[in-house]
Structure 1
Amino acid sequence: MMTTHGAPVSAPTNVQEVEQLVKRLYQPGTPKVIAQIDDQLKLLQNSSDGWQLADALLGSDDPNVRFFGALTFQVKLNTGARLDAAAAQIVLSKLLHWTAQLDRAGEGHLVRKKLCASLVTYFLRSPVPWQRPLLHLAASFYHGSAVDEERLSTAHDAIDQYLPTLNDSQLITILWLSGTLATEASRVDHATQENTQVHHLMEVLAIDASKVMQFALSQPVNANTGRVKAESLSTFLNWVNYAQPMWTAQQQALDYLRELVPQLVPLLTDEVLQNEAMDVFRDILESYTTFFQPQHMALLANIVHQYARPRMLQLLHNRAPEVIPVAQLIIAFGIANIQQVVEEPQNELGSKLIVQLLLAILESPGFPGDDDEVSIHSIEFWNTYIEYVNEELYSRQTDQNQPAWLEHDKAVCLRLSELLWSKMRTPPSDVAQDWSDAESEAFKEFRMDASDLMLSIYIRLGNEMLQRFISIAANSLSARNWQDLEAALFAINTLADNVLEDPSAEELLGQIFSSYLFREIADFSQSIPTQTRRTAIDLLGAYGQYIERHAEALPDTLRFLFASLETPGLYISASKSIESLCSTCRNSLTGELNGFLAQYDSFAQSETSEPYTNEKVIGAIASIIQAVSPERAKAQPLSALLDIVDSMVMNTRQLLAQPDLEKAAAIGVSSIDCLVKIGKGLQVPEDVPIDLCEDDEKPTYQDSFWKCQEGQAIQLRILNVCQTMLQLLPGVGEVVDSVCQVFKAGFAETEPGPFVFPPNMIVSFLEQCTIATSHLETVLSTVCTLIVQYSRKDQPRIDSEISRIYAKAVTLVQHLHGEPSQDPGIAQACIDVFNRMIGRYSNIFFDVAGSGTAVQLILDFAIKALDGPDLMPKRSATDFWRRVVASKQDQTDRAICDRAEQVINAYGLPLCQALMNQIAGRGQRSELDSLCEPLKVMIQQRAQTKSWLETALTNDALPDINPSVGDIEKRRFVQQVISLRGANKTKDVVKNFYAACRGTVTSYT
């Protein structure tokens, strides 16, 4: 007996007590009591008396108890209860009996649906094939109880005699059974031999299923037929969804379903069922386009013309949300019929009507996300349209004639681009201020989707589209229509990447950049919406390459941007454009450095000065400093930037003294982030041309400045900022992350520079860390990058520093007591560090000059990670062991080879045991690909692998697996993977074995 603070939960001794327990399950109670009741009932369900209990409970007068009885039948069938042929027939007879009896008694939906689910489970699980479930249930309804299956007619139209005798409730139940059969059968793997019979039966069953739906759809209209036809729609969709992957070659079975389409199409105009019908047809059009034959598409085209068109236009006019399902049906039809839409523009119903309706959506009043909820849905159609057009045009041979539809398409695309611009216009401020966050986000989402579409349209129209937007911008500027101007600038901004690649666009861009646009925008005495100014600022950042070629405009442009930095609502966009322009135009701005530093000092005193904008602007100035030559000339402006960072450090000290910890942390982290921006700004741009005629010997000052006292003093200042912040904010992980980014900024450089730190400094940073250091994983990741950098052949060896890294990583593993699960993040990072050493620094990893004690600690740790529950350490451990096993073949050093051989001999069996534990079910299916990698290398390189695998699979350490996988299956698995010799098919064999061990397939073959 289980007892709680409430009533005791005793094990029932008869059916009446079970009924009472079930009733208590559905009554309010404490979670503990409910859980105990549930446990008791599950024991009963899984007991040998479960079948009899299920049968008895279905006779109860309580619907909850009857539901539990039906559920118990399903549980027994699902849990693999062993049934011989006779027992299976008894179970089926009971289920059919109760389905017929309870329907006659007026049973509700819940129990009847659960009985249908149990019948479907029987169909899928029974050892005896259930040939015609729908016919069998219809006959049972007719006779009022279960009918012996042998008495059923074998004629293909046998079900026809029963259908007229069914009442609506019985017909709906058969439709439920039919639809559930299709849904559940679609989840049965058709690639395995044992399931072939199920899918063969489904082909036969399609005849009865189609006849049931055909009969249901032909019923005369009355109060109840709406429900019948609604269930027919749902069942039809389930069968189509089943057919799509299963019947690629079974046209006859598909035809049974296709014959129903003419009866289903009229439901699209049914006042009661139209929404459900539109959902069904849209679903099929979107996911299984080829299901509908040309005659079906013609029927749908007529529906669109006669019904959907007037309804959608009226709903668009009324701005009614009911327009969405109608529009979605038209969109899906258009996408499914896209070839005809594009290539037959004169076809009234198949093309012209669809294009007109889809343009009408964008012509309708309202703002997307607010009172226009349908425009965003139309983008999907237009994406498909323009993708088809571009693919057709650019896949043609140059000597092929242009298609006849080209001119019409061009007109459509021009009109489309104008409508998109119109829909992208921002609302007046009095409208926008009443928008919710969701409405604002929906409008932004439309703008982003429309921007992507515009890029595709530009590929089709080219400069004609750009000229149109520039003209709109000029006209809007003259009319001082700021919303129209902003949308035009936004569109031009969207096209920037493509436009800048086209030299012929240069003259067109001059029309806007040489206009008085930016003089107007820069006049802060004018009442211009902030959004318009912001988009103009974004335009300057996007077209930096153009501005660089017209450097005369650069200083004034940047002064305008710096002025915008001090304007609320503009400073974020301005800082981004400043960074972009300075990076792109750095070579043209070196003479402006002092002026920009002065402008930064002014900005730093403004209310808009905050961490994000500071970092952007400091990074922008650093980009210009990078272009200064010689190297010595960079020292003064770089020192000025570091003065700014030093002042932030001082502010942090003062705030900590007040104390204002939150603000101190924000400014402290920002100071290091400014260093990161400086470091990235000083990196040589990737697009700098290589001078192939450059002298091998560079001027001495260029090589040595950052190594001389003055250059190293600057580097020391950078390090001092990092060290100070680590001391001032020891528990702030973001400081550690940012310091690591400072170190990484120099990794990309190939010549000395202020951020190219000696390896010793980075290793010293690691040695200062303890197991409790915040974000220690980031430090270890930085060290990994360092090892990779100095593993390249063009870099000197740094054995001393690598040895120190090795010692520190070993210490961290010891602090974890050799248990990866104590801190999976640090465990993964340590394994990654050791992994990076294998190769150039294998001598250190294998401790060739020492006793090898540390190696044993590392390898034990990596075995535990491989066989542990934590995903990330396990993933790192799989790659680590792959490289360990393969390390010998990459080495010529005899001592390293000998130590590697000792390691594999000692750890071959533990490694195979860990791999087999995971593959036999302890791991996740998503991990199998990575687990295969060390296994494949082992098989390729070690002859003992076969015996190790066989031993591992018979070891008591192996987790519990499905009893169907015995010694024979294990030996077959080993034989298969060994014979594949590490080929890619190994993964398939491993996945099949895993599924068999987990019991998700019935046997391992």
Structure 2
Amino acid sequence: MAGVDLGQLPTSLEEVVHLIVQLYQPGAPEVIAKTQETLQKLQRSPDGWRIAYSLANHEDQQVRFFAALTFIVKLNTDAKSLGEEDEKVLLHTLISWMIRCVQNSEGPLVMRKLCSTLVAYFFQFSASWIKCVKHLMYCLCIKEAIPYEALPDTLDTQALVSDIPNATAMAIFWFASSLVEEVGKTDSNSMKQHKFHQSVLPNVDDIVPLISKYISNTAPVTADIKVRQEALTCFQAWVSYSHRAFIDDAIMLEPLRILTKPAIMCLADDNLYEIAMEMFADVLSNYSKFFSEDDFQLLYSLFNSPWTEGRYQRLVGGDFDFDSLQFGHFLLAFGDATLQELATNTEPRFQQVLVVLGGLLAAEGYPIHEDKIFVPALEFWNSFVENMIDDVFSVGGNHPHWFEPAKMHVIQAIESCMRKLQFPSPQVFSSWDSVDRTGFKDARRDFGDLLQQFYLVTGITILDTFIDRAHDAIRSRDWADLEVSLFCIGVFPDNIADEESRDKFLSKIFTGPVISLFVDPNQEIPARTVQSFLSLIHGYADYFQQNTEFLPNVLNIVFGAMANPALRPKASYTVLRLCSDCRNLLLPELGAFLQQYQSLTLNASLDKDDKEQIMQGICSLIQAIPEEQDKVAPLEQLLNFVDRDIEDSFRILSSQPSLEVALKDMKDDKTSSSPTSTALELGHGALRCLAGIGHALQAPNDQPVDLEEKETGSDFWIAGGGAPVQRRIFSMVTRVYDTLGSHGDIVDAACYVWRQGFRELEPGPFVMAPSMIAEFLLKAGPQTPRLGCVIGTACSFVTSHKSGDGINQIIDALLNWISRLLQAQEKPSNDPEVAQNGIDFLTRLLPKYLDALMNHDSPSLEYLLMFTLNALTGSDPLPKIAAADFWSTFINLPSQPDQLQAPIENVIKLVGPLLARALIYNIGGHAARSELDKLSEPLKKLVVRQIDSKRWFEAALLGEDFPSDKVSTQDRTIFLEKITNIRERDNPQIRGSLSRTEGLSES
């Protein structure tokens, strides 16, 4: 860029032009960026106005574009510098420029930017240019920029429009569209302040005649198609804007409505179809109130026209090109806009529309992969059913007269969906890309939502439809239809769980012939169909509690499916559900289950999810054993399977040249299939299996709890015959953790094992002694991955553990551990998760372990308390909220014995001023609004419980470190009085004073 120094602003017009030309030419990105920065500084400089005026007549189009852009920048940033005469000169200049553009056939690049410039002028000076459309139109027609004040009051817009040239009309359409589009983007506060709606409103009478001229059937034969298209686009912009005007100020742009009929006629014009279709779909979806009853009647008649029939047949015949899909979206938008009328009116024309909309579900091709209208059509029918539900339940009593016809339309829609949502062959399905495969499955889930909604209308009798269809499919060996029928039956477990007649309906599908079909090895039933039957079994697993005759064959089906890798995940989960729901029935088969699992591990490659679910299922049977000592042997057998995986993991690791290098490789590479990643997978799976076993040993949720039972649990698992089992579990977890604990998934899984014991109400093999839990927790250091999870486990431990001998020493050890970990963080923001969980740990100690906290080593306790205050003044929301909870709980502690009350009061006296300052720092501007509710809690407690709080808050509010200079001393004083005059605990007025005090609740 010879002759131009990018380090300083250009000093001549030639240099400016050179920069502009350079900006729009290919070049090095850093040079272009620097050029753009220089030009932007120039635009914002005082010389910007002069440069814009000077460049407006330049011969280069890009320079003229930059001139218009510069005018916009100056209007947006420096309009207040213009006097009244300057405003008039600027408007005269811009309109004169527009006249030249029209006369010279200027291209859209400059013309559209110039229209945006005139809109920017309107934003700044709308009060003095209210009839902007008419003024601009008049000036363009007479080819002279007259002052706005000289616009004749009696001028008839229709007279101007009658002879307006196409080029002039195009310019007016661009300006009028840009005007309402930009005003529509304005935020509500600015809209009200500047009364833009009131300024735009007078222009509707001037733009309507011009639009009408070009979209009506009487449009001049000389009208260029591009002008007619722009007229329709302008109409769409004004209708869209009218929605915003209606929402903001209840303003109806009534004159626009006379254009809807000619706009509807434009649908039949191939040149205007795309724009018209987009407009009607948009307005019907977002602002259907704009259309009158006559407009809707015209649209209804359009549905019965040959034009609609032709386009509709192309769409349902598999034509999913853009214009065809547009038509489909238009039909659905019309359906949404008239939903209530379509549902409740049984006249033939309304019923015909529903037939048309239902037919969209039966278009040719697979949904998503080929058929692009199916999902939007399914959304319409979901809305239709929701509307039915609202109407039916709002009136009560007998169904209204329209109910049965509406119900039949939905049933037909369901039939279409069942045909459309049958899976293609595995070869075809696997040939689709991942987006289409996922989308197809999502469409089936959406269909399931429709069925669940429709259940509220029909009740349980809807199952008969799918059960009968399933039996028809079995007779014809139509496996795809059987699969989708089973899918539909499997949608309703939650809906029909409490229906008295549930089992009567399920007994029609869980029959001897049906179950025998899936047991028969000679029947080559596709995996998809078997998978849906497995889903049916686990969805209704509790059915077999009362209907036991088919349970053995059902289990044979499930375990038989384990041989197929594609069915294994579903089958293993079904094993879990059957064992869990039918544990007492299946308890005699426990040995067979253990034998079956051993066979599976030898003959199939089970992944960790399969192992976890099957073991959890088998362990549900162990939980059902009445006597604790009888659980030991089968539990040991399960643990043997887990131990085998652990030993395999260690064997693989030990076979590597360097254990240290192997563990590092494992940590760095989570996706490889190397031996070290296999070892990690085995170790992680072993911990997951242990967690599943621990979960299964918990009492079922529906088991009654004896509230009067004394807390005198057996010591069988601690000191009796079960103690070796407990020690073995502890050893298994710690061995895996010690070897593989450098990987975060292992840390998570180990913690999850211990959490199973925390949930138990009675002693058990996973309910470890506090010293054992502490031994594990204390292994973690600052470099431990997922450290937040480990500290979170400590939080769960102190919450769930019942106080007992020696616990205070363990709590003190954990406090020292937490203190070291938090000191290693240095400040809460370095690891917000660790900070949050560390502070939460302190909160969990209150009040049960208050003595351990207050008797903790003084320097360490002081650090912990100061850490919470630092979190309170930090920017990370989670540690801040945790700190607010801690101090709210601490301040609100009930009275304690003297040996504890005295140190508590000392802490509050020392910390109180700092806490008050931290709270005011947040409320004064540092906190987000979403955090104020939590921060108000310790503030309220401090005001209510501490007599010195007024002095503390006064110092914080009036001190030099108050965070905002926008809040006056008087406002701070008022705020102080509001909060300190309130002495009733949890008085909501305190929270109200936070939100009402300007500046003190501003984030």
TM-score, length basis structure 1: 0.88
TM-aligned CA deviation for residue 491 of structure 1: 1.1
**Does the alignment pair 1:22 with 2:20?**
yes
Matched letter for residue 878 of structure 2: R
Matches within 5 A, 1:50-449: 50-79=48-77, 82-86=80-84, 87-126=86-125, 130-144=129-143, 146-154=145-153, 159-164=157-162, 166-191=164-189, 195-218=193-216, 220=219, 225-248=224-247, 253-306=252-305, 309-316=308-315, 318-322=317-321, 323-345=324-346, 347-349=347-349, 351-398=350-397, 401-429=398-426, 431-449=428-446
User: Identity of counterpart residues, as a percentage?
Assistant: 28
1:907 to 888, 903, 915: 915
Cα distance in structure 2, aligned partners of 1:734 and 1:987: 43
TM-aligned CA deviation for residue 841 of structure 1: 4.7
Matched letter for residue 120 of structure 1: V
1:484 to 481, 484, 508: 481
Matched letter for residue 239 of structure 1: W
1:703–1:274: structure 2 CA closer, same or farther, 3 Å change rule? Answer: farther
Cα distance in structure 2, aligned partners of 1:413 and 1:183: 40
Paired position in structure 2 for 1:782? 793
Cα deviation per residue 1:780-816 (whole Å; 9 max; x = unaligned)?
22223334435x9x99995444433332222222212
2:950 to 931, 935, 943: 943
Cα distance in structure 1, aligned partners of 2:862 and 2:234: 62
Cα distance in structure 1, aligned partners of 2:169 and 2:231: 10
**Does the alignment pair 1:466 with 2:455?**
no
CA contact (8 A) 1:190 1:199 kept: no
Cα distance in structure 1, aligned partners of 2:385 and 2:507: 28
**Does the alignment pair 1:741 with 2:742?**
no
Paired position in structure 2 for 1:512? 509
Cα deviation per residue 1:113-145 (whole Å; 9 max; x = unaligned)?
223333333333449554233223223323445
Cα deviation per residue 1:477-497 (whole Å; 9 max; x = unaligned)?
111111111111111112232
Paired position in structure 1 for 2:812? 803
Q: Identify unmatched segments of 5+ residues in structure 2.
A: 657-674, 982-987
Q: Which moved more, 1:467-476 or 1:423-432?
A: 423-432
Cα distance in structure 1, aligned partners of 2:341 and 2:279: 23
TM-aligned CA deviation for residue 774 of structure 1: 0.8
Secondary structure of the 2:778 match is helix
CA contact (8 A) 1:500 1:546 kept: no
Paired position in structure 2 for 1:549? 546
Cα distance in structure 1, aligned partners of 2:362 and 2:968: 71
CA contact (8 A) 1:269 1:307 kept: no
Secondary structure of the 2:622 match is helix
1:271–1:833: structure 2 CA closer, same or farther, 3 Å change rule? Answer: same
Cα distance in structure 2, aligned partners of 1:154 and 1:632: 103
Cα distance in structure 2, aligned partners of 1:769 and 1:636: 33
Cα deviation per residue 1:401-458 (whole Å; 9 max; x = unaligned)?
4311223233333333322222222224554354333332332222111111111222
Paired position in structure 1 for 2:764? 753
CA contact (8 A) 1:875 1:927 kept: no
Cα distance in structure 2, aligned partners of 1:808 and 1:129: 72
1:506–1:911: structure 2 CA closer, same or farther, 3 Å change rule? Answer: closer
Cα distance in structure 2, aligned partners of 1:460 and 1:420: 18
Q: Which moved more, 1:925-934 or 1:828-837?
A: 925-934
1:898–1:663: structure 2 CA closer, same or farther, 3 Å change rule? Answer: same
Cα distance in structure 1, aligned partners of 2:416 and 2:840: 53
Paired position in structure 2 for 1:772? 783
Matched letter for residue 95 of structure 2: L
Secondary structure of the 1:605 match is helix
Cα distance in structure 1, aligned partners of 2:778 and 2:572: 38
1:880 to 883, 892, 904: 883
CA contact (8 A) 1:9 1:33 kept: no
TM-aligned CA deviation for residue 594 of structure 1: 0.8
Compute the RMSD of aligned alpha carbons: 3.4
1:918 to 902, 914, 926: 926
**Does the alignment pair 1:826 with 2:851?**
no
Secondary structure of the 2:895 match is coil
1:577 to 570, 574, 577: 574
Paired position in structure 2 for 1:998? none
Cα distance in structure 1, aligned partners of 2:925 and 2:251: 47
Secondary structure of the 1:771 match is coil
TM-aligned CA deviation for residue 315 of structure 1: 0.9
Matched letter for residue 399 of structure 2: Q
Matched letter for residue 115 of structure 1: L
1:342–1:428: structure 2 CA closer, same or farther, 3 Å change rule? Answer: same
Q: How many residues align?
A: 966
CA contact (8 A) 1:835 1:883 kept: yes
Paired position in structure 2 for 1:1000? none
CA contact (8 A) 1:171 1:216 kept: no
Cα distance in structure 2, aligned partners of 1:841 and 1:240: 67
Cα distance in structure 2, aligned partners of 1:831 and 1:89: 65
2:606 to 587, 609, 613: 609
1:983–1:217: structure 2 CA closer, same or farther, 3 Å change rule? Answer: farther
**Does the alignment pair 1:635 with 2:644?**
no
**Does the alignment pair 1:684 with 2:687?**
no
1:468–1:799: structure 2 CA closer, same or farther, 3 Å change rule? Answer: same
Q: Which moved more, 1:80-89 or 1:531-540?
A: 80-89
Paired position in structure 2 for 1:1002? none
1:259–1:628: structure 2 CA closer, same or farther, 3 Å change rule? Answer: farther
CA contact (8 A) 1:939 1:982 kept: no
Matched letter for residue 894 of structure 2: Q
Q: Which moved more, 1:825-834 or 1:354-363?
A: 825-834
Paired position in structure 1 for 2:668? none
Secondary structure of the 2:722 match is helix
Matched letter for residue 584 of structure 1: D
